[in-house]
Amino acid sequence: MSNIKWVMVSGLAALAATIGLAGTATAFHGGGVAHCDGCHSMHNSLDNPVEGNPNNLLLKGSDPSSTCLNCHAGAGSSRSYHSMSADGTVWSPAGDFFWLTQSYTNTNWSGSVTSDPDNMGHNVIALDFGLTVDATNAAAPGGGYPSGILGCQSCHDPHGQVGTGGTAPISVSGSYGDVPVAGTIAGNYRLLEDSFATAPTAVTAGYGETDASHVAYGENMGEWCAGCHGDYINDNHKHPSGNGEFLNGQATVYNAYVATGDFTGLPATSFDALVQFERQETDKAVLLAAVTSTAGPDSTDNVMCMTCHRAHASAFNNITRWDMEHEMLAEGWPTAANLAAMGAVPNADYYGRDITTEYGEFQRSLCNKCHVKD
């Protein structure tokens, strides 16, 4: 990504804010289809980059994901709708496509190791923003979805239809627990596509992910991911994930675990945003109350894909929430020097959390939050 591109994006965002056009994604999409000329140039005139040579579907970007990033690229500090930054500051639950553009080199016992950006996230194709086809994986791991057609629209429905064509008008977003008026329905959580699987039930407070403000996942997250990664759900040979994979006794471990060597946690304050769980709850009011709760799980809650992974991208291999490839998290990659070289803000890999300060110098993998072996 050139500096010129990012200056243009930042400048446009600032202009929009100045003239009062900037808002949240819910203000634009509103849970359903937005105004058409927000994404399409209806007559290929004023808004198309090359007049007389229209983009496919008359989109305002050269491809669907570029069109999305025309609005969804930018710093993450104050915008709930950004998903790609130039400095690793999108600390949303899904992560930052920034990591798909970065590579770093370190040395371990096997010699020099260089990271592969293709392994850091879902490689959506957004040519205007320097995001290209995944050159490492031809299809979704554990499934068959082709990498060559992966884009934002593979997971999200920008038109906001619920099912095939919708069952009633959409009056509110499905992301915040709002109650639709009589005769209408709420859109899907985060406009997630549901033509191949039931969209998950979840609620969020908006931007960011902290222990005290985070997504409250209800159900179906693992089942929805299985639409493309079917081999990784309900398979006894792989880590359990899904509505039926209850935490059982692991909930007691989760609630007691504070850090390596510290098992003094209490259920009311044991929640760790880096290790999410699913509540098997469909009542949006209950989920909305859970968004700011610091309470840990009970035995009937379950593990899901988002317990260990992010949806867009992360600083770690396989889109994990923490470094699973080093013994001590404080010694893991990327290092502070790597982050600085990439232009990322300090501790961007852990959403501004300093591992040593929060957990201690000798903190081991957060797998131990459920499987206490440290």
Q: What is the pLDDT of residue 228?
A: 94
Q: Assign 35 to helix, strand or coil.
A: coil
User: From the CB of residue 265, how many other CB atoms can be counted at a distance below 10 Å?
Assistant: 19
Closest CA to 95 of 290, 350, 303: 350
pLDDT of 323 reads 97
The residue that leads in pLDDT, 227 or 164, is 227
Grade residue 206 by pLDDT with cuts at 50, 70 and 90. confident
User: Residue 50 has what pLDDT?
Assistant: 56
The per-residue pLDDT for range 5-18, each reduced to its tens digit, is: 343 333 334 333 33
pLDDT of 178 reads 92
- The band of 48, judged by pLDDT with boundaries at 50, 70 and 90, is low
Helix ranges (H only) for the chain are: 3-18, 25-29, 64-72, 152-155, 221-225, 250-256, 284-290, 305-308, 336-342, 355-359
Question: What single DSSP character describes residue 54?
Answer: P
Neighbours of 118 (CB within 10 A): 16
Question: Tokens standing for 15?
Answer: 């202009």
Query: Which pLDDT score, from 0 to 100, does residue 339 have?
Result: 98
E strand or H helix at 9, and its extent? helix 3-18
**Confidence check: pLDDT of 22 > 50:** no
Q: Give per-residue pLDDT as tens, 288-311.
A: 999 999 999 999 999 999 999 999
Strand 105-108, strand 111-114: pairing? antiparallel
Q: 327, 279 in Cβ contact below 8 A? A: no
* The pTM of the whole model exceeds 0.85: yes
Lowest mean pLDDT among 48-62, 133-147, 229-243: 48-62
pLDDT band at 21 (very low <50, low <70, confident <90, very high): very low
Q: How many CB atoms lie within 10 A of CB 127?
A: 13
pLDDT value of residue 51: 60
Instruction: Look at 110 and 326; give whichever has higher pLDDT.
Output: 326
pLDDT at site 345? 96
DSSP assignments along 158-218, one per residue: TT--STTT-SS-EEE-SSS-PPPPTT-EE--GGGB--SSSPPPEEE--SS--BTTB--EEE
Amino acid 218: pLDDT: 97
Q: Quick one: pLDDT band at residue 165, thresholds 50, 70, 90?
A: low
Nearest to 236 by CA among 228, 227, 244: 244
Q: Across the chain, what does the average pLDDT equal?
A: 88
Q: What is the pLDDT of residue 25?
A: 38
pLDDT mean over 345-370: 97
3-state secondary structure at position 97: helix
Confidence band of 52 (pLDDT split at 50, 70, 90): low
| Residue 313, SS3 per DSSP | strand
User: In the prediction, which pLDDT does 1 show?
Assistant: 40
In this predicted model, what pLDDT tens digit does every residue of 226-283 receive, in sequence order? 999 999 887 777 888 999 999 999 999 999 999 999 999 999 999 999 999 999 999 9
Name which residue leads in pLDDT, 54 or 263.
263
Q: What is the dihedral of CA 304, 307, 311, 314, to 10 degrees?
A: -160
Cα–Cα separations (whole angstroms), residue 282 to 263, 278, 286: 31, 11, 8
- Say how far apart CA 223 and CA 169 lie, in whole Å: 26
Neighbour-count burial of 87, counting CB atoms closer than 10 A to its CB (0-12 exposed, 13-18 middle, 19+ buried): middle
CA distance 343 to 346: 9
Q: What is the pLDDT of residues 173-183, one digit of tens each?
A: 999 999 999 99
